[in-house]
């Protein structure tokens, strides 16, 4: 039975993975930040003390893009130095690392989907911190999977889908930007891909893109959420060209999925995945 440790168990992806695991096939150990602080190497080492882990899945991250502009040191401490700590301990213990990264490692200047071979050039501190974490992994490990994903949402935590649903249920009108194009990605879909990597155990190491198929704007994303949740509230979602934020964001961050689909199969459309999650939300 494969033994898997997961950091960031209280985040939306960590919680979603817990919904999908088969306890007969895997021995999973989930760690929250209060249980294991990835920025404290001694804390990390103690988590690895139980010998025999095959995989480490790192879902722990500083993900607040706006706050990362103000709390640069903390963002880099978690997203870069913490990841370096994980990579070093994985190397020492010969544990395979699955690490979740972001489309924000790109600058958005390209107008066709980004491949894993495209040059990175993050334009905000969150993207810079996540890229530095990636580089540490590549420097320290051979047995790794870096998964770049985008616009994650789920039934858990604070995310765009839950925010939109909460607002329209309270009859609040929202102005949502049309300026950025990307792909909403369900944590359920990403969790299944992570479990696939662990299950097949022979996927080539390296960087993978993972999102749903297709692309939209945040306005289109919001519209689709409302269309599935309560179509009578569609008039509460209004488009706006510009939406002032503290952090710069790439205007285009669609990910190229050809290589992922080669090893995994055709991915869901972003609309199908939203429909599936909202059906679960209503139940």
Single out the residue of 264, 119, 135, 267 nearest to residue 204, CA to CA. 264
The pLDDT value given to residue 1? 85
Find the largest Cα–Cα distance for the chain. Answer: 56
* pLDDT tens track for 77-114: 999 999 999 999 999 999 999 999 999 999 999 989 99
* pLDDT tens track for 11-38: 999 999 999 997 778 899 999 999 999 9
User: What pLDDT band is residue 54 in, cutting at 50, 70 and 90?
Assistant: very high
**242: pLDDT strictly greater than 80:** no
**CB neighbour burial string for 131-170, b if at least 16 within 10 angstroms, e if fewer:** bbbbbbbeebbeebbbbbbbbbbbbbbebbbbebbebbee
The pLDDT value given to residue 268? 97
219 with 155: CB under 8 angstroms?
Answer: no
Q: Choose between 201 and 126: higher pLDDT.
A: 126
Distance between the two ends of the chain, CA-based, in angstroms?
A: 33
Query: The whole model's pTM is what?
Result: 0.97
The pLDDT value given to residue 52? 84
* pLDDT tens track for 154-199: 999 999 999 999 999 999 999 999 999 999 999 999 999 999 999 9
Residues near 64 by beta carbon (within 8 Å), at least 6 away in sequence: 126
Give the range among 60-64, 268-272, 278-282 with minimum mean pLDDT: 278-282
Provide the mean pLDDT of the chain. Answer: 95
Percent of the chain with pLDDT over 70: 100
Percent of the chain with pLDDT over 90: 92
User: What pLDDT band is residue 40 in, cutting at 50, 70 and 90?
Assistant: very high
Domains of the chain, with CATH numbers? 2-158+185-212+254-268 (3.40.50.720)
How confident is the model over 207-214, as a mean pLDDT?
Answer: 98
């Amino acid at each position: 039975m494969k033994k898997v440790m997961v950091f960031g168990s209280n985040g939306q992806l960590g919680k979603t993975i817990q919904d999908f695991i088969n306890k007969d096939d895997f021995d999973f150990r989930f760690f929250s930040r209060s249980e294991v602080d990835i920025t404290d190497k001694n804390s990390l080492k103690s988590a690895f003390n139980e010998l025999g882990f095959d995989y480490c899945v790192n879902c722990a991250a500083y993900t607040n893009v706006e706050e990362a502009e103000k709390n640069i040191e903390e963002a880099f401490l978690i997203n870069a130095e913490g990841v370096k700590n994980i990579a070093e301990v994985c190397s020492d213990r010969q544990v395979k690392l699955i690490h979740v990264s972001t489309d924000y490692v790109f600058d958005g200047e390209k107008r066709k989907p980004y491949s894993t071979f495209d040059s990175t050039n993050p334009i905000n501190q969150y993207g810079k911190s996540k890229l530095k974490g990636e580089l540490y992994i590549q420097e320290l490990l051979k047995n790794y999977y870096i998964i770049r994903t985008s616009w994650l949402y789920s039934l858990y935590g604070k995310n765009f889908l839950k925010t939109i649903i909460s607002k329209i249920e309270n009859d609040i009108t929202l102005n949502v930007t049309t300026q950025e194009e990307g792909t909403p990605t369900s944590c359920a879909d990403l969790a299944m891909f992570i479990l696939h990597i662990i299950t097949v155990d022979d996927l080539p190491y390296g960087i993978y893109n993972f999102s749903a198929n297709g692309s939209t704007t945040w306005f289109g994303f919001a519209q689709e959420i409302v269309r599935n949740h309560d179509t009578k509230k569609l008039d509460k979602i209004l488009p706006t060209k510009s939406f002032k934020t503290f952090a710069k964001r790439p205007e285009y961050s669609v990910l190229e999925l050809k290589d992922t689909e080669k090893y995994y199969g055709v991915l869901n459309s972003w609309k199908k995945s939203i429909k599936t999650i909202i059906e679960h939300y209503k139940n």
